[in-house]
A and B are shown apart, each in its own frame.
Chain A
Amino acid sequence: MTDLAIGLWSFPALLALIFLRVPIGLAMFVTGLVGLWIVTDGPIVALSRLKNETYSTFSSYSLSIIPMFLLMGQFATLGGMSQALFRAAEGFLGHRRGGVAMAAVGACAGFGAICGSSLATAATMGRVALPELRRYGYDGGFSTATLAAGGTLGILIPPSVILVIYAILTEQNIAKLFVAAVVPGLLAALGYVIAISIYVRVNPGSAGTRDPIPGRERLALLVAVWPVLLVFVAVVGGIYGGIFTPTEAAAVGALGTGLIALANGGLNGRTLVQSFTITAKSSAMIFFIVLGAAFYNGFLALTQVPQEMSAWVVEQGYAPLTVLVVILVFYLIFGCLMDSLSMILLTVPIFFPVISALDFGMTAEEVAIWFGILVLIVVEVGLITPPVGMNLFIINAMDRATPMLQTYRAVLYFIGSDIVRVAILVAFPAITLFLL
């Protein structure tokens, strides 16, 4: 068997392992190790690579941003910022039809600006907003779907763990990717608000209403969210302005949210230990997947599969846009089965060379950033697509009274809004790129 054939056969082997419930990082690691063994005719290369590769992966300066962002998200939760955000958004929108749900989306967007993880955003905002939604007579399925979709803003709006990984895989500038994600992220929030207003018109009686509150009170609620704004400006502004490296910005953000949580009394010995263990589990899980992917991709590169595949696609002479759309549809389908991070690590090393080899009439960097944002969005849709969207599970677990099927039905409105947004961003790359 040629090296190329071995490389190609490794895909079904890897997928079989993953679908047999092997932890994803472990599956990639083992496939990579065995593949390397076969391709290099013995264990020596694989084993000697392993002497340094775990250390060098875990000590990567760019990746060190991830545990810091995760800890920052924990502190932001403890600091009561989720409540402040929701109350402010609710004060402005709550009296409209579907307004409390819109407020939940707005608060998710705000929380996403200081938290790099969708699951954390969904979980945190779910705890705050779910009881309120039910209190104002919002349907069970509508409430859970809103929060599950809102949670994806945690990753769409920078800072974003997935973008850090994408930047490292494709050797792009993290700061530029963060900046490019801002407008599509805001569009996502807007799209969800539109989806909500359509939902309440199609299903009258799915949401209650209340009287508007006076302007002075609204202003007071708005003032209460200043710490969130401060942290966001320090982190994303600092990166954008070139004052900090992304890792430094993450450190500043973690310190800032930590101090806010301390001032609000949310941070004490017990909650600190809790934050550490949650951060520990998420970080180690992510880093182990990254390690597995590093091994697998190292093996794949040796077999020439990525190069051969991109050469093959270019030879076929398909229209670049067709190739892009096929890849995005692939992500949408696969996203129903696999978590977003693993999918990015698994597929970007293969798809990115293909996309780079095509002519979209833009510079290489522009294509890389545009593709990154598109991929980010489509893999995030996977978090809310039935049957296994992770956010759906997290939120549904908080509201046992609502059958999963009701959540599935309501979330289709949000998925529709996602697909429209992806189509718009594909058609108009400038929306993503004009801020650069």
Chain B
Amino acid sequence: MLARIVEALARFMAILGGLVLTGLILMTCLSIAGRWLNGVLNADAFEGVALAEWLLARGVGPITGDFELVEAGMAFVIFAFLPITQLHGAHASVDIFTRALGEKSNRALAAAWAVLFAAVLILIARQLWLGTQDKARYGETTFLIQFPIWWAYAASLVGAVIAAATACYVATVRVVEAFTGQPILPDEGTEH
């Protein structure tokens, strides 16, 4: 039951991140198209053409602060991608030396590192929360579109908290696996 909720949540975040990533891609392409069209319409050949001037007056051109939006959005995307990476054990690791150890030792190692990973992700989420408060307190904004940076921090925080919670779940499962010797969760890390 819990397993299904965690899986669903991690997948939901991955899809949400994917949709935001797609949005950023489309926005970037739109901005390029706008920049190109703006250049064409400003060319001498269109001097005095009503449609061209109407379009330019409507503000056809690159999207202002497009790269600021990419930066803010990308932070959210990556944090949203973290839970599923955690849950599926997709972090890269080197297993050539531990292969010589027995299955029991390997399970014990996996449990220990899963606990460490959970601790680190909790620390990251906590510090990001403090960072968010700092940014909100000082009212820091981006340079061009002047949007408050703490919004982007807060959005990232959602992913960071879910990633930390997922990591706690994975750590618990790995500890249980170490004691019972029964595999429960997949571990893809060495395939990458």
Interface residues of A (CB under 8 A from B): 18-26, 29-30, 47, 50-52, 54-55, 58-61, 63-64, 67-68, 71, 119, 244, 247-248, 251-252, 254-255, 272-273, 275-277, 279-285, 287-289, 337-339, 341-342, 387-388, 390, 393-394
The digit string for B6-22, where 1 denotes a CB below 8 A from any CB of A, is: 00000100110111011
CB distance from B9 to the nearest CB of A (A): 13
A-B contacts, 20 listed (Cβ < 8 Å): A22-B116, A24-B91, A24-B92, A26-B91, A54-B124, A54-B127, A55-B156, A61-B74, A68-B24, A244-B32, A247-B28, A251-B32, A252-B29, A255-B26, A255-B29, A277-B18, A280-B81, A281-B90, A281-B188, A287-B78
With the chains together, A272 CA to B18 CA distance in Å?
Answer: 9
Tell me which residues across on chain B come within 8 A of A387, comparing CB atoms.
96
Bound complex: CA A393 to CA B97 (Å): 17
A-side interface mostly: helix
State whether A67 touches B77 (Cβ < 8 A). Answer: yes
Min CB distance B121 to A, Å, is 9
Chain A residue nearest to B189 (CB atoms) is A23
Of B40-48, B51-59, B128-136, B174-182, the segment with at least 4 beta carbons within 8 Å of chain A is B128-136
Given A248-B32, A254-B25, A23–B128 Cβ distance below 8 Å?
Answer: no
Cβ B153 vs Cβ A277 within 8 A: no
From known contacts A47-B127, A288-B85, infer whether A60 and B92 are also in contact, taking CB-CB under 8 Å: no
Q: Are B93 and A281 in contact (CB under 8 A)?
A: no
Secondary structure of the B contact surface, majority rule: helix
- Which of B28, B70, B90 gathers most chain A CB within 10 Å? B28
Q: Establish whether residues A281 and B81, one from each chain, have CB atoms under 8 Å apart when the complex forms.
A: yes
A273: chain B residues within 8 A (beta carbon): 11, 15, 18
- Min CB distance, A247 to chain B, in Å? 7
Q: A22-B116, A50-B123, A277-B18 are in contact. List 5 more A-B contacts (CB 8 A).
A: A24-B91, A61-B74, A276-B19, A279-B21, A283-B77
In the complex, the chain B residue whose C-beta lies closest to that of A338 is B94
Check if B18 sits within 8 Å of A276, measured CB to CB.
Answer: yes
Most buried by A among B14, B22, B94, B98: B94
- Chain B 70-100 residues near chain A, CB threshold 8 A: 70-72, 74-75, 77-82, 84-85, 88, 90-98
Q: Is B192 an interface residue (CB 8 A)?
A: yes
- The size bracket of the interface on B is 35 or more
Do residues B18 and A275 form an inter-chain contact, with CB atoms below 8 A?
Answer: yes
A54–B128 CB distance below 8 A: yes
Could you tell me if B84 and A277 are in contact, using CB atoms closer than 8 angstroms? yes
Whether the Cβ atoms of A26 and B92 lie closer than 8 Å is: no
Determine if A64 and B71 form an interchain contact, defined as CB atoms under 8 angstroms apart.
Answer: yes
Contact residue among A20, A67, A281 (Cβ-Cβ distance under 8 Å from B98): A20
B28 in contact with A251 (CB, 8 Å) = yes
Q: Is the CB of A68 within 8 A of B25?
A: yes
Q: Are B29 and A58 in contact (CB under 8 A)?
A: no
Determine which of A29, A59, A251 lies in contact with B75 in the assembled complex, contact meaning CB atoms within 8 Å. A59
A-side contacts of B92, CB under 8 Å: 23-25, 285, 289, 339, 341-342
* Minimal beta-carbon separation of B138 from chain A (angstroms): 12
- Contact flags B115-155 to A (C-beta < 8 A → 1, else 0): 01100100110011011001000000000000000001100
Contact A284/B18 with A24-B94, A50-B124, A51-B128 known, Cβ cut-off 8 Å: no
A210 to B26, CA, bound (A): 46
With A and B bound together, what is the CA distance between A52 and B149 in angstroms? 11
Q: Cα distance A252–B192 when bound, in Å?
A: 26
Query: A58 vs B155: C-alpha distance in the bound complex, in angstroms?
Result: 13
A156→B9 CA distance, assembly (Å): 37
Residues of chain A with a CB closer than 8 A to B127's CB: 47, 50-51, 54
CB neighbours (8 Å) of B96 from chain A are 19, 337, 387-388
Query: Smallest Cβ distance from A59 to chain B, in angstroms?
Result: 4
A residues within 8 A CB of B78? 58, 67, 283-284, 287
Shortest beta-carbon distance from B158 to chain A in Å:
13
A64 B70 Cβ-Cβ under 8 A: yes
In the complex, the answer to whether A71 meets B21 with C-beta atoms within 8 Å is: yes
Residues of chain B within 8 A (CB-CB) of A244 are: 32
Verify B88–A281 contact, CB threshold 8 A.
Answer: yes
